[in-house]
Each structure stands twice: as structure tokens, then as C-alpha cells.
Chains A and B, each alone.
Chain A
Amino acid sequence: MPDEASDVLDRFRQGDLDAFESLFRQHQRAVYGWTLRLVRNPATAEDLTIEAFWRIYRAHARFDPALGFEGWARRIATHAAFDWLRTQPPTPAFSGEQIAELPAPSAADPGVSAEVRAAIAQSFTRLTPRLRIAAVLAVIEELPHKEVATALGISVAAVKLRVFRALRLLRKDLIQQGITP
């Protein structure tokens, strides 16, 4: 079985479309799930999954089988999501109806009011995509810093720094809105 997997990866590296389809079928769900975590919108996540696999196919000659397909695909999907986030304007202030539609607070902290959640969600969109992605993966999704670092292609220390900067900017923005953590 490992020989078969290795053969598929070798064939993919040579640009074999059947091998690519096999890898696509195997990893489509994981790449979609990863992208969904980053952009938090199913339709956009689907579009970005298509974009990511297109980039993966284009880069087939640069694939190093020793790195593993999933980690490599995840990194390319992260870049695709990053490029998309950069084109998105910050969310304008939420209306009362939108506040009501926000997801329910987690059981861990049910005391956070809808207004505070709306303010945080809005402030979050004002962060740069670089900080936002690090915060989503490390804080919201609670992934280990090492995993986040691998996906972003940066060091663990850089991940910690980005998360810290994201929280600090979030705090500053909330304080300006009269909300003190």
C-alpha cells in the first residue's frame, strides 16, 4: 500500500492527471475543511478549494514527495485563502438583525452578550489577513502552534507573535468602542 501511494505521488509529480485526480479525491475534504476554517464561508471555501487544487496541479513539478501531499496542499490552500482575504474589505458595522443572527456563544463563556460578539467579529475583520489567519488557527481552532507554523511556512515564535499582535490590536479596537476586556 505505501508503494502504491508513493507511485501515485511520483506520477503526480510527472504531471499525470489520473494520479492528480486520485490525490484530489483523497484530500478534497481535508483541503475544503481547512479553507473553510480560514474563510468561514462554505461557498468561498469551495471556490478556494478549486483554486488551491489548480495551483497544486500547476506546481506539480515542484512537489517533493518527502514532504507529504497533505501538508503541502494545506500550505497552498492557506496562500489561496490569504490572497482572497486580502481582497476583502472590513465588515461594516453589524445591524441589529445581523447581531441576532450571530452564532450562539460557546458553552465555555455563555455570558458574552450579542453586542460584544458583534463588536469582536467586526473588529476581527479589520485585522490584516496575516494576523487573522494566525488567530483563527491558533485561538479559534485551537491548533498546536507547530501545526500552524507548518501551514503558514513560518516559525513557532512568529506564530506566537502574530497571535499576540492580533489580540493586542483587537483589545485596542474594542477599548475604542468602549468595551474593556
Chain B
Amino acid sequence: MNTHEEERLKQWLKAALPAAQDAEPSRDLWPAVLRRIGEEPAAPPWFDWALAGGLAAMAIFFPSAIPVLLYYL
């Protein structure tokens, strides 16, 4: 890609997606931020705990399987 093509592409990009104008939110976002802060983090489902326990048990009883597990991650 030469300089001319690069400049042309930049111009096209600016024409297709003009720069965003200075703007402000349509509403006060603070109440929503407060609500988000007040939300309890979702507890991991039982399946996640079971999976983590299974993996830990496998790592303890079959340490040679760890590289295989890492390969598939």
C-alpha cells in the first residue's frame, strides 16, 4: 500500500464515518451508576463450583493430566 492509497483510504474512512460531535448524555447517569454500585455481584452458579472442584481434584489426583488440560484451554 503506497502513501497515496493510504491517504485516500483515510479520506474515505473520514467521509464514511465522520468524527463524533461534542455531545452530552441525554439524561443524568448518576442514578444508574449508583444502582449499579448497589447491585450485589451475581453468585457463581453451582455448576461453576462443581467444575472448579472437579478440576482441582483432577489436578491433585492426576497431576500428569495438567499439561493436557492446559493444551485444550
Point out residues on A near B: beta carbons under 8 Å: 17, 21, 24-25, 28-29, 32-33, 36-37, 40, 42, 45-46, 49-51, 53-54, 57, 102-103, 105-106, 108-109, 112, 116-118, 120-121, 124, 135-136, 139-142, 164, 167-168, 170-171, 181
Contacts and interface: CB of A to CB of B under 8 A. Distances in A.
* Of A103, A105, A181, most B-chain CB atoms within 10 Å: A181
Given A36-B23, A103-B18, A135 B30 contact: no
B34 to A, nearest CB: 8
Interface stretch (B4-12, B42-50, B51-59): B4-12
Contacts of A37: 19-20
Interface residues of B, number: 28
A106 B12 CA distance: 9
Interface of B: 1, 5-6, 8-20, 22-27, 29-30, 32-33, 36-37
Tell me what chain A mostly uses at the interface: helix, strand, loop, or mixed. helix
10 contacts: A28-B25, A32-B29, A33-B22, A42-B26, A50-B33, A109-B15, A118-B16, A140-B19, A170-B9, A171-B1
